[in-house]
Amino acid sequence: MRSVNREDGPVKVTGAARYAADHHPEGLAYGYLITSTVARGTILGMDTAPAERAPGVIAVYTPFNPLRLHPYTQADTAELLPPLQDDRVCYYGQVIGLVVAETFEQARDAAALVTTRYDAERPRASFTAGLPNATPPSGGTPETDVLAPGVTSIDEALAASDVSITETYTTPAETHVAMEPHATVASWTGDRLTVHTASQGVRLPVERLTESLGIDAAQIHVINPYVGGGFGNKWGTWAHTPLTAAAARALGRPVKTVLTREQVFTVIGHRPITSQTVSLGAAADGTLVAVKNDGISSKSAANDFYESVADLSLALYGSANLHVSRKVVTMDVPATTIMRAPAESNGSFALESAMDELADALGMDPLDLRLKNDTPSHPVSGLPWSSKHLEECYRVGAERFGWSRRSPRPGTVTDGDWLVGLGMATATFGASRGEASIEVRLRDDGRAVVSGAAADLGTGQSTVFAILAAEVLGIPVDRVTPVLGDSATPPAAKAGGSGSTSANGPAVRLAAEAAKEAVVKLAAEHEKSPFRGEAVTYADGEVRGGGDAMPFGELLALLGVPEVEVTATSPRHPRREHAFRSFGAHFCEVRVNRWTGEPRVARWLCVVDAGTIVNVKTARSQIAGGVVMGIGQALLEDLRIEPDTGRFGNATMADYLVPVNTDIPPIDVEFLNYPDTVLSDLGARGIGELSIVGAAGAVANAVHNATGRRVRDLPITLDKLL
Amino acid sequence: MRAFDFAVPHDIDDALGLARDESAFLAGGTTLVDLMKLEVVSPEQVIDINRLPLHGIRPEPDGLRVGALERMEDVARHPAVAGPYPVIAQALLASASPQLRNMASIGGNLLQRTRCGYFRDVATPCNKRSPGTGCPAQHGDNRGHAILGTSASCAATHPSDLAVALVALEASVRLRGADGERTMPLADFYLPPGDTPHVENRLRPGELITEVIVPPLPWAGRSRYVKVRDRQSYEFALASAAVAVDLHDGEVRDARVAVGGVGTVPWRLPAVEDALRAGRSHEEAAALAAAGARPLAGNAFKVTLVQRAILRALTELAGPR
Ligand SMILES: Cc1cc2nc3c(=O)[nH]c(=O)nc-3n(C[C@H](O)[C@H](O)[C@H](O)COP(=O)(O)OP(=O)(O)OC[C@H]3O[C@@H](n4cnc5c(N)ncnc54)[C@H](O)[C@@H]3O)c2cc1C
Ligand code: SF4
């Protein structure tokens, strides 16, 4: 497997990389958002006079003096309504105003002078209180059943199984806390708009701005080559983006709005709260015969996104009978949105915990139970998996981690004051290959430029572009310049659904192949070409023919052709004959202090079956990053909503805990690296989300093995282990 | 942050002369600047005291003297601290992060403000920040709040780790104001919230902390600071215990115990000390730790946790008993 340094490493380490907020066009004014301090109600009035008189203030926009924005027409994972167009408040921390001033400080200070009067209503802010009134999702399928012939209900199948368990598992709201806060810089030249904005795919803000500003996509240029983490929160285009662009239009000068850390918590969406009641029924030998999961997700009144949290139970382990239901609790909270492995990461916490509990009930090793129920085809569709080596993940992992040293009796292994436990879980995430277009330009300086409107959120995607193009073109990786995050380039796959490399990788290869053909054709046909009329071939970056060879750059220089440009499109995979998923196995050791209950993760191994690994160096970081986030999900993260006010109780980075370095043990990552040739020639599936799935379950299982305590409500904090 | 005047005096009298009611002294700034950015405090004048001669870490016959401007990291690493008073060094090193400890001063540490989320969010009411507006923590987000010394007006913890160790060691602070100098035990310096949670200590307006004095305690070499928190570093205590024991032949003859993360002020536990002195078991002694506790909905676990923190410290210092 290749291990290549990040192409963008040096600019990031030296600070030369310019993120959205680093742009300062001539004449820039600064926007500062005003946000609501009630969760539900009507704004009666806003006194903006003191702010308007404050030094440097250029404009104060509110629902009473709005910037006109057209309704959003396309579904998005962000909000349904553009900001400031009415006086309703749907959540605490909603954008209700924008102050624009000559400096950031002036805008911020003026914003603090605005006073708002509300007619506040009692918010629906308790998930627990809303559970009895949970409703089927509008537009979604409320239930899915797969029953064996002759079985009339899932409960019948459960009752008929030798051993069964039923438990309820819950997960709290979470937020992404990506390092880079959201920012938008908008400037107009005539009727053309240039936008620097943090995004997981530059075509997403183009769509939002097209509809909300009422202009053509062709008038909008979005540029965002560097993204300081996304995890889903830069997929949606949030309120500040159209607002900033509209302010820049109204004021005739560029405007920049950067969210404060605290604003990121509410202006941007969060991962929904979920509850899953899982029943598993098995034959005495461990064969699953019934899997039932009733999943409920919170959903913001401000948008329609919820997690179909139970659905993973339909896709992982084989069972003759399966049942899943979906419900939502609508709450007056900020937007619910996608966050790394939406639905699957929460879904797997419940499923993987339940599998451990079933193993306990069966008196079976939890690894053996999973081996027993590994399935060669999708449990619902029956389609064969395109490429699945999960069993090898389990076996390799067990060997490497020393799984055989796990004591089957919980609470029996100690090391000084620490109770020691081992846990494991399956990692998995859906895979696909979307359509992607890529442009390759071979230049007369011998370099290749590979462009597409993809995004590198820190994932290593731009390096993947360089590696794959270099390989096809037969040139060193550092002679390839990847260009991502520019809406003027062809529509490559955005960073979402772990689908960047699986879609863009084949497209880069196609485009590079096409570029080779184009330069060969040029060599054979151009009137000044020394290869004219020869049988021309291309190898190792050179054009060859008639016994001669010349690097493509030299040839182009000789011909006076500055560059050869081609665009190729790799189509979407229809997925009709196979099912596609990535798989893996997590193993971890957790220690719990016997006095004070702190759970600490001591060791981690993740064995990965995700198809071809293009760059093991950045792939390893992706997997490790998912594990880190999974440890946060398991032990720390909990965005607390105050039931009375709908305010987030800990919406600061001091109070919303994510792991720090000392919380993270050495993470061992092993890639099996079997190409998935059904999905594409490249054979790469996806690794962005895979490893957070199962991580929390593995921790919960290890905590149980260490202490004998089963914690079914995340996060597993020390107060639950005292 | 609001506009303010800035002054950089070079001697103590100048600093005291400059101070007005609406002034704030600036040491490391890790609390002050933070709270100014949040607009929790908006002083009209900021007086930078970093040029004042409030330095030095000196063991003297009447105890260890630490200048108010000494940085947390330097104090923690100083041999006159780490050897004779491990509990101080451990409390400091369990605080914040290395970057912050290199900036933050001892005086500033003792005067840092609570981490209560309502106190720090000016969009919410808070009796401590805006007297009379109410205390949303009583029925709101209170997992991190105090169980000891609380009132209906306020249940915020005092967040300093250092102060807990110092209270256990019966340290004093030297104060200097325009009217002269005074010294008082740190335990008396802090005030429980009562009906006036905005008054946190006995420091008068314009008064400086000049020095901390830790009296000699020959057996403090056997001392320990146990800090319990959700993550392993970079977090304030859910509960902490500063414990020193005088151990003879495995028997605890004397002990000092103070706890943090659970009290509105650094909380000394004389009853636990008495029980240990009287030869009671660690469990029996620790069980007295939360006497009088008034837990809120989210922090009842601290009643158990604080006892466990003490037990853990005792076990580490004196072995199981
Ligand atoms: C992210 C973060 C994490 C932290 N974690 C911890 C932790 O785990 N444990 C912990 O104990 N602390 C922690 N702290 C708090 C930190 O220890 C304090 O902020 C620091 O000690 C304050 O010292 P300073 O010199 O920066 O004070 P400043 O911010 O300069 O001053 C603080 C206050 O004291 C006043 N003041 C300062 N010096 C004097 C003096 N000599 N005389 C009179 N008044 C004075 C100032 O006017 C101001 O009101 C953390 C802080 C941060 C930002
Ligand atoms: S606990 Fe104290 S600091 Fe917190 S809101 Fe109540 S009064 Fe304010």
Q: Where are the alpha helices (DSSP H) in A181-334?
A: 203-213, 240-251, 261-267
**Domain membership flag for residue B239:** yes
Pick A596's closest partner by Cβ from B1, B123, B228. B228
Ligand 1 pocket mutation, candidates B109, B211, B227, criterion most atoms within 8 A of CB: B109
Query: B136 C-alpha vs ligand 1 centroid, how far in Å?
Result: 25
Please answer yes or no on whether B308 and A597 come within 8 Å at the CB atom.
yes
What three-state secondary structure class fits A561?
coil
Ligand 2 binding residues, C-beta < 6 A? B 114, 116, 118-119, 126-128, 135-137, 154-156, 197
Q: Please tell me which residue of chain B has the smallest CA distance to A37.
A: B123
**Domain membership flag for residue B160:** no
Confidence of residue A416 (pLDDT cuts 50, 70, 90): very high
Query: B103 C-alpha vs ligand 1 centroid, how far in Å?
Result: 9
Strands A288-300, A274-282: pairing kind? antiparallel
Q: Report yes or no: A719 at the B interface, CB cutoff 8 Å.
A: yes
**Domain membership flag for residue B188:** no
Counting every residue written for chain B, the total comes to: 321
Q: What average pLDDT is seen over chain A?
A: 97
| Ligand 2 atom nearest residue B129's Cα | 8
Q: What is the pLDDT of residue A217?
A: 97
Query: How does DSSP assign A473-522, residue by residue?
Result: HTS-GGGEEEE-SBTTS-----S-TT-HHHHHHHHHHHHHHHHHHHHHHH
Q: What is the pLDDT of residue B321?
A: 66
Joined tokens for residue B208:
């400086």
Domain limits, CATH 3.90.1170.50, in chain A: 9-122+176-267
CB A720 within 8 A of CB A713: yes
**Domain membership flag for residue B306:** yes
Domain limits, CATH 3.30.365.10, in chain A: 274-432+576-720, 436-570
| Tens of pLDDT, residues A550-566 | 999 999 999 999 999 99
| Rounded distance between C-alpha atoms, residue A399 and residue A511, angstroms | 42
Domain count, chain B: 2
What class is the A274-432+576-720 domain? alpha beta
Q: What is the pLDDT of residue A75?
A: 79
**Domain membership flag for residue B8:** yes
Residues of chain B positioned with their CB less than 8 A from the CB of A647? 124
Joined tokens for residue A476:
């060193």
Joined tokens for residue B264:
């509105």
Query: B106 C-alpha vs ligand 1 centroid, how far in Å?
Result: 8
User: How is the beta sheet containing A115-120 ordered, strand by strand?
Assistant: A88-89, A41-47, A115-120
Please answer yes or no on whether B309 and A635 come within 8 Å at the CB atom.
no
Residue B314, CB half-sphere, CA atoms under 13 Å: how many?
32
Residue B34 CA: which ligand is closest? 1
Confidence of residue B310 (pLDDT cuts 50, 70, 90): very high
| Tens of pLDDT, residues A311-356 | 999 999 999 999 999 999 999 999 999 999 999 999 999 999 999 9
CB B315 within 8 A of CB B245: no
What class is the A9-122+176-267 domain? alpha beta
Query: B109 C-alpha vs ligand 1 centroid, how far in Å?
Result: 4
CB A517 within 8 A of CB A539: no
Ligand 2 pocket mutation, candidates B118, B133, B148, criterion most atoms within 8 A of CB: B118
Q: What is residue B96's DSSP assignment?
A: S
Q: Report yes or no: A644 at the B interface, CB cutoff 8 Å.
A: yes
> Has domain A436-570 been given CATH number 3.40.50.300?
no
| Rounded distance between C-alpha atoms, residue A189 and residue A219, angstroms | 10
Please answer yes or no on whether B141 and A640 come within 8 Å at the CB atom.
yes
Hey, of B232, B235, B238, B306, which one would you mutate to test binding to chain A, going by the most A CBs within 10 A of its CB? Answer: B232
Residues of chain B positioned with their CB less than 8 A from the CB of A656? none
Report, as an integer, the average pLDDT of B170-185.
97
Hey, what amino acid is at A686? G
Query: Domain containing B234: what range?
Result: 222-316
Report, as an integer, the average pLDDT of A157-167.
98
| Rounded distance between C-alpha atoms, residue A120 and residue A44, angstroms | 10
Q: What is the pLDDT of residue A298?
A: 98
Q: What is the pLDDT of residue B312?
A: 97
Phi, psi of B175 (to 5 degrees): -120, 145
Segment (H or E) for A414: strand A414-415
Please answer yes or no on whether B312 and A593 come within 8 Å at the CB atom.
yes
Q: CB within 8 A of B231, min separation 6: which ones?
A: A635, A636, A657, A659, A660, A662, A663
CB-defined contacts A:B, below 8 A: 79
Confidence of residue B93 (pLDDT cuts 50, 70, 90): very high
Nearest C-alpha of chain B: how many angstroms from A659?
7
What is the number of H-type helices and E-type strands within chain B? 12, 12
CATH assignment at residue B44? 3.30.43.10
Residue B198 CA: which ligand is closest? 2
Q: Please tell me which residue of chain B has the smallest CA distance to A718.
A: B230
Confidence of residue A74 (pLDDT cuts 50, 70, 90): confident
Query: A595 C-alpha vs ligand 2 centroid, how far in Å?
Result: 30
User: B245 pLDDT exceeds 80?
Assistant: yes
Please answer yes or no on whether A649 and B117 come within 8 Å at the CB atom.
yes
| Tens of pLDDT, residues A597-606 | 999 999 999 9
Strands A480-483, A448-451: pairing kind? parallel
Confidence of residue A175 (pLDDT cuts 50, 70, 90): very high
| Tens of pLDDT, residues A482-524 | 999 999 999 999 999 999 999 999 999 999 999 999 999 999 9
| Rounded distance between C-alpha atoms, residue A145 and residue A322, angstroms | 6
CATH assignment at residue B237? 3.30.390.50
Q: What is the pLDDT of residue A696?
A: 98
Query: B75 C-alpha vs ligand 1 centroid, how far in Å?
Result: 14
| Rounded distance between C-alpha atoms, residue A168 and residue A552, angstroms | 63
Q: Report yes or no: A34 at the B interface, CB cutoff 8 Å.
A: no
Q: What is the pLDDT of residue A11?
A: 96
**Domain membership flag for residue B161:** no
Q: Residue A710: how many CB atoms within 10 A of its CB?
A: 17
Residue B207 CA: which ligand is closest? 1
Residues of chain B positioned with their CB less than 8 A from the CB of A665? none
Please answer yes or no on whether A662 and B305 come within 8 Å at the CB atom.
no
CB A667 within 8 A of CB A606: yes
Shortest-distance Cα residue to atom 2 of ligand 1 = B96
**Across-strand partners of A592?**
A419, A599
Residue ranges of B 278-317 with Cβ closer than 8 A to chain A: 301, 304-305, 308-309, 311-312, 315
**Domain membership flag for residue B247:** yes
Hey, what amino acid is at A147? L
Ligand 2 pocket mutation, candidates B121, B143, B154, criterion most atoms within 8 A of CB: B154
Q: Report yes or no: A593 at the B interface, CB cutoff 8 Å.
A: yes
Hey, what amino acid is at A646? G
Q: Report yes or no: A156 at the B interface, CB cutoff 8 Å.
A: no
Ligand 1 binding residues, C-beta < 6 A? A 654; B 24-32, 34, 49, 68, 72, 95-96, 100, 103-105, 107-109, 111-112, 159-162, 208-209, 236
